Amino acid sequence: MASRSLLRLMKELQELAKGENLAINVHYDESNINQIEVLLLGPPDTPYAFGFYRFAIVIPPEYPTRPPHVTLKTTNMGSTRFGPNLYASGKVCLSILGTWPGRPGEEWSPAQGLESVLLSIQSLLSANPYHNEPGFAHESDANAVQTYNAKVRHENLRLAIITPLEKALGLAPNPTGGPSSASSEDPFNDHYKRRFLWYLDQYKRAIAQGIEEVKNNPGPQFPMAPFESSSNGMRGSWAYPELQRRLQAIESKLIEETYGWAVEGSKICEEDAGIAVTLRAQQDQIVAELKNFTGSTVDLAMIDDNPFLWQLTYFGRPMSIWDGAMVNLKIYISPRFPAEQPRVFLDSSIFHLRVTSLKMLVYLPARSNDLIRHIAGIIGTLDEESPAYNPLLTVNQEASKLFWGTKQEKREYNTKLRHSIEMSML
C-alpha cells in the first residue's frame, strides 16, 4: 500500500477509534492495520436491536481505488443467514463493496471510506429486512414480513447477544467436555459485557415479547422465507424460555464478576502489585483535583481502603433537580483496567434516564484510560439537565419516554426523579 493510502487509512481508523458513534467499535493491530475487526450494534426498533454483529475487514493494497473486503463473522459457524444481504457464508451483498450490482452512483469510489462502508452495512440491519431482498421490496404479505422479523429477533438474541456473552464469561459449552473458561483474548469482551448491562432491560423485554408472539406460530420450527435455501437461510426453532434462562445466567455471572473485582483487588494489594499502587495514587490525585473544579458537590473515597472499590457521594447542586440530594455510588475497578472499564452502581434506585433497573449508571468518559475522566463523566451525567438525544443511550425506557415527551411528560419525569431522590435518602 502506498504511503499516502496508508496515511489515509490510519486517519480513518483513528477517527473511528474515537468512539463518537456508539454503534461502531473497531479493533486492529497497529503492526498490520490492513486487518480490521469491527462490531456493529444492531439499531433500536429493529429485529437486530442491540445485537453484536462482528465483521472482518481486509484492506486491499490498492485501497482506496478498490473497496475493502468485508466478511460477516456472526453466522453461527456458517449456518445462519441474518438477512437477504447477509449470507450464511459471511458474504455481505452491497454495491459499495462490489458484491452486488448497483445503480450508477452506488458503486465504490475513492471518495468513500471505511465509515461509509460501515454505515451502509448498518443500513442492512433494518426494521423490515424482508424488503431488502430484490423482488420483495413491496411485499404486501404483512404476515410473511412479521414472521421473518420474529425469527431474526429470536436469532439476534440467541446468536448476536447471548452466545458472545457466554463465550466472554466462560459459560459456553466446551466441545471437549471439560469446564469452559472465559475467552480473555477477544478484544471485544469488555465491550460485550458493558453494553449487555446497558441494554439488559431491553433484552428482557424482547424475550417477554417473543414468548407472547410464538403463541400464535403454527409450529416450533422457523418457517422458511421464499428467498432462503437449506444452505443459505435461517433455520431453527423457537426457544424463548431457554433464552430467558441463559440471559439470567449471564446477568448473574456479570454481577458476580463485578463484585469479584474488589475481592481480587484486595489480594493484589497484599502483594503490593503495581496496579494497586497506581490506583491508590490516582485516587489521591483525583480527590485533590475534584476540589478545584467541583467545590463541595462530590466526595470520593476508597471503601475499606481498597483501591479497586471507590465510593462517590454526589451532593445535589442548589436550584437543580438534585437540590439537597445526597446520592452514593460505588465504582468497581477491574485489576485489568483500562482493558476492562469501571462499572458504576447507585446504592439506591433512582428514576433517571441513565440509570438501569440494576441501578447501573451509564456514562461516557472523555478518555476511557483516564480515571479522572471517568469521574468527570459520572458527575457530568448527573449534572446534565438537557442531554442530547441518542437512542443508543436509552437504558431506562420509561424515563427516556417521559424525558423526551410532551411538556406534561417532562414534568412527570422530574416529579418521579425528585420522588426517587427523596425516597433514597430516607
The dihedral through the CA atoms of 276, 277, 278, 279 has a sign that is positive
Eight-state DSSP code of residue 397 = H
- Rounded Cα distance, 377 and 158, in Å: 32
Supply the DSSP string of 205-240, one letter for each residue: HHHHHHHHHGGGSSSSBPPPPTT--SSSS---B--H
61: helix, coil or strand? coil
The C-alpha angle 94, 99, 103, rounded to 5 degrees, equals 60
Neighbour tally for 418: CB within 10 Å = 16
Supply the DSSP string of 288-336, one letter for each residue: HHHHHHHTTSEEEEEETTEEEEEEEEEEPPTTSTTTT-EEEEEEE--TT
Neighbour tally for 347: CB within 10 Å = 13
Place of cell 453466522: 75
- Rounded Cα distance, 91 and 72, in Å: 6
- Rounded Cα distance, 189 and 200, in Å: 16
* Contact present, 157 and 203 (Cβ < 8 Å): yes
Q: What is the four-CA torsion angle of 404, 405, 406, 410, rounded to 10 degrees?
A: -60
Amino acid code (one letter) for 247: L
E strand or H helix at 76, and its extent?
none
**Which residues are part of the catalytic machinery?**
93
Neighbour tally for 396: CB within 10 Å = 20
Residue 59, C-beta contacts closer than 8 angstroms, at least 6 positions apart: 1, 9, 33, 34, 35, 36, 68
- Rounded Cα distance, 334 and 368, in Å: 13
Neighbour tally for 262: CB within 10 Å = 20
Omega within 30 of 0 (cis) for the link into 226: no
Place of cell 454503534: 23
